[in-house]
A = this chain, B = another copy of it.
Amino acid sequence: MKQKDKNQVIVLAEKPVGMATLNTFQLREIDMPEIKEGEVLLKSLYVSVDPGMRGFMNEGANDYTGQKFQINEPITSRTVARVIESQSKKFSVGDIVNGRLAWKRYQSMGDDKLEWVDPQVLPISTAVSILGVPGLAAYFGLEKIGQIQKGETVVVSGAAGAVGSVAVQIAKIKGCRVVGIAGSDKKIEYIEKELGVDRGINYKKTNDIAIDLAKACPNGIDVFFDNVGGELLDAVLSLINKKARMVICGQIAVYNDTEPSKGPRPEHTLIKKSARIEGFVVFDFKNEFEEAKLKMTQWYIGGKLKYKENLIEGFENLPSAFIGLFTGENIGKQMVKI
Contact = CB atoms under 8 A, between A and B. Distances in A.
Interface in A252-300: 254, 260-281, 284
A92 to B, nearest CB: 37
Q: How many copies does the complex hold?
A: 2
A288 to B, nearest CB: 15
A183 interface: no
A254 B248 contact: no
A277 B280 contact: no
B274 A265 contact: no
Given A274-B284, A284-B274, A269 B279 contact: yes
A226 interface: yes
A251 interface: yes
Nearest to A266: B277
A267 B226 contact: yes
A324 interface: no
Interface string A206-230: 0000000000000000000010011
B260 A265 contact: yes
Nearest to A269: B279
B262 A271 contact: no
B254 A268 contact: yes
A229 B264 CA distance: 12
Contacts of A250: 271
A230 B265 contact: yes
A248 B266 CA distance: 10
A267 B229 contact: yes
Interface of A: 55, 63-64, 226, 229-230, 233, 248-251, 254, 260-281, 284
Given A254-B267, A262-B262, A274-B280, 4 more contacts: A226-B267, A270-B279, A271-B280, A273-B279
